[in-house]
Structure 1
Amino acid sequence: MTTGAASPTDQLAGIAERAEVVLVDFDGPICRLFGRKAAPRIAADLRQLILSRGVAVPDELRDGDDPLDLFRATAVFAPDLVGVVGAALTAAEVEAAASAEATIGAFDVVAACLETGRSLAIVSDNSAAAIGAYLGRRDRARYFAAVIGRGDHPDLLKPNPVPVVQALRALKVAPGAAVLVGDSTTDIAAARAAGVACIGYANRPGKAERLTAAGADAIVTDMSDLAGVLARTRRPVSQLPWVDSEGGPLIVVPASALGQWEGASVDDDDSWGDYGRACRVDGYVGVLGVGADQALVLADEPASTTYLPERRLFVRWLYASSEAEVVRLLPRALDIADWEDAGTWTTSGPAELFDSAYTGDGLEHTTHLAVDLPRGTYLIRTALVQPDESTALVLVHLVETMR
């Protein structure tokens, strides 16, 4: 029995499935660095700089339009000028980074990696200064665990595998668990030499054939397509622990009183026991007696909820495009929150957050989250916050008043 070769789509999916980290070239997959100041002009400026130092440029480099090729060659025909040419190239790249246009779909790839728990690194022959200048324009540097830019030695540029190996070491990952996305044959060669799978980004006619011939394991012509494959091939990984309900309120019960929370009692009348009491709470929060203690009810919406102990803050996710967006927008949400006082809550100490329909001694049957709090009385503040058009959160903040 014979089987056909895997389709290009299956090959891409297989590579993405295995990838724990994604390494991305800068100029091409992330942005068009020289979109407004053409590379041929920069190469001409570098040639003029070399000539001004009394060094002749070899015939084969007199008409080249790739500044990186000229920088590589400088190490051979004018090694004393490597530092000068490298500095001039860096200055030109930093200038270009100020107006470089983002590649369509590039940050869809970033978002897909963040949402599926993959680390990201940039591995580029461009200078780290230029990469930093571009990422800093929109506060995007924080999305990348490492940035490997051009060093002082032209012979260590790709196709040398050293930059790829540096990225693997920075992210502490084996070659077999990484993939490199690049748009040049040198990217492909460097990845293969480092033992890393490689995806060619063919953004111009004829590139797919060249990248395939160089050994690319798969080809994409649109970074958005790559983002879609990355998003589909791994389950989303939560950055925070979330507690959901089956439709009713959530409850925060002190650990010492867990055995006294009876949840939705089927033996009672139509009141549904403790769960029914929680359902009758109006507004975002309320307090109910549980034995000699008090429980905090998170009401109004059956929203996914987490607790940030360092802020003593419950975050309730009403709607958002992703958990990554909730995490990203939380600082802004706190800045613009219009807090309202909602009474006080007295607790005997650490508590558990869970679906109020469950009994306190049956938490093994439902998702729950420890709420680490000292014994004391807390002022409750609430706020409905919309940090952008597609995100809405309810924040519940506990402010200690006395113990």
Structure 2
Amino acid sequence: SPEATLQLSMVSLIRNTKILAYYLIHDCLDHEGYRFSFQSAIDADGHVTPRYDVLKKVGTFVNEHSNLLCESEEVYSEIGMGVYIPHVRDIIRPNINYWAFVEEMNKALLHFNGLSSIMGALTECGYNPVINDLELMTYEDLKKLKVLFVFSTGHLDKSSYEKILKYVYEGGVLITIGYPVTEYESGEKLTKNVLFPAEPYAASNITNFGTINLASQASYDVISHQITKRQIKHKQSLHTIDMMQPMAEIIKYIGEMGTWIDNERGGKLWASRYVSTWKAGNGITPLLRYSGATVSYSVRHGFGKSIFIGTLLGIFYDSSAYYKKDPTKKESIVNFLSLIFREAGLKPLHTPIPNVEVIIRKAKDSMCIFLVNRGSARDIKLETDFEFYENLEIVFIGKQSIIDKDYFHEHRVLKAHLDTDDVVGINFY
């Protein structure tokens, strides 16, 4: 949609991410005469489409205000996300039977969707994490973080494990989502697992939710896809769709499957797709429970803390049906994470606003704030460190949002009406 192009284009620019924001600018005919159509800005007949106006607005912003991006740096929280590329070996290994496939699907979701899911949750909490390759991160990089997220399928290389072990010992908070690390990349088992000491609750300690429904629905989608693709003659188009289709179809349903589990601090938390249960022994503090058994726990190590979460947390943030999700599910995860961050001494960069991504960039004498409205129109108020800035300039509005300048001058609070799926940029100086 034009709105998706607007948001993807602007977020790519603002965050300086290397991403293919426009698959093609111009639809065309290939040498065999088949149409190569991806709803581009210009169709195969040379006519402009609704996306064209979006590209013009983005281009105008680049021409007039690119200096604001060049002269500023994105503001991050003291929270890190460690991406571990070798985890992909769990998903692509050969000779996977049905029951192994069920587990590998969970690991695939952790590896491919876990990071972006938690990114959505942190954004709604008012935080902006640093994303880095766990293997390439130095210990100096780790020391800058109060909290580190790792999405684990059960193994790490020895160097990475020793880095996070030292990080926790010297005061860091490690949050591991998925499977506890039990072996090195070489296959060598950990002899003394101080970060993940809990033993499985039973020989089979994983409960999956919605496997049959998921398999039947995904199978139906695959068959439907195979029938529909017969109408597509362009080979490159077919290849692209075939590569994207399997995970794109599955992720639509994952967020709906799960269960409510008990939060030891009170209330419930939504666990997506599966839960694993563990024995709570000496030094292990349960945080989340399913039918009385521990799903998440924390342990002290040196001056820091290791928190293990044996479920997919917030996977629906990465789902195409995100807007339809029960808001109480999102709130349960936001509340759970917010409490952990407060205990770690972290403060949000700004007031949290549900369904709105806030990106802050700072220069020597100015600050840019970009608001990405992920949904229907809404009125918002945003508080952050505005005390150093007296004036504001609107540098980008994609649709029909309204900024209340007078309210800012009087209260030093940003008040705005955000149009549906709009992107807004404001420079404060």
With structure 2 as the length reference, what TM-score do the two structures score?
0.27
TM-score, with structure 1 as normaliser: 0.28
- Which structure has the larger Rg over C-alpha atoms? 1
